[in-house]
């Protein structure tokens, strides 16, 4: 009887221990301000419009810089099983790949559309032979009301 009771306690403890270990997984979460979080840190990218004058033409391109208010961390947790996570950081801050690679071509599409719009607007506004009139600089793009917008000056 005592043997059966000991075996039951040991079995219950083993089941409880295995149940509390959990499965191996990767956790991705936002880092709170002033938090010293473990793991691989990265920032969400924020799109910026770069305007410059090159060869008497107004040029525009999209670049991505770290959004310092959007710090994230990736932590692997062991448990039952193994975790084989792979991540690729571009420029040391931008998570570009996690497990598999995807390419949406969104930056290239935005760049092409902004180039067409600015070229058409510039040609219509200045007429033939006039110098381009564009505000050069770095401008953060924001997504408001289902559209990308430049900051108003």
Task: Show the beta-strand stretches assigned E in 78-136.
Answer: 87-90, 94-98
| Nearby residues of 45 by Cβ (< 8 Å), 6 or more positions away | 64, 65, 66, 67, 94
- One digit per residue, the tens of pLDDT, for the chain of length 153 reads 656 654 554 454 444 444 445 677 788 899 998 889 888 889 999 999 999 999 889 999 999 999 999 999 988 777 666 666 777 888 888 888 876 333 445 555 556 556 545 554 554 455 555 555 788 999 999 888 888 888 775
Q: Please tell me the pTM assigned to this model.
A: 0.56
SS3 29: strand
Element (H, E) at 43: strand 40-54
């Amino acid at each position: 009887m005592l043997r059966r009771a000991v075996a039951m306690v040991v079995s219950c403890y083993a089941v409880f221990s295995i149940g509390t270990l959990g499965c191996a997984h990767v956790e991705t979460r936002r880092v709170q301000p002033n938090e010293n979080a473990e793991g691989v840190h990265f920032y969400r990218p924020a799109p910026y419009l770069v305007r410059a004058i090159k060869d008497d033409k107004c040029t525009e391109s999209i670049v991505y810089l770290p959004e310092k208010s959007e710090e994230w961390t990736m932590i692997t947790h062991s448990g039952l099983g193994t975790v084989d996570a792979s991540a690729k950081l571009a420029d040391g801050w931008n998570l570009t790949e996690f497990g598999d690679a995807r390419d949406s071509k969104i930056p290239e599409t935005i760049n092409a559309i902004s180039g067409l719009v600015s070229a058409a607007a510039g040609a219509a506004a200045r007429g033939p032979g006039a110098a381009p009139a564009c505000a050069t600089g770095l401008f953060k793009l924001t997504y408001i009301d289902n559209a990308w917008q430049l900051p108003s000056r």
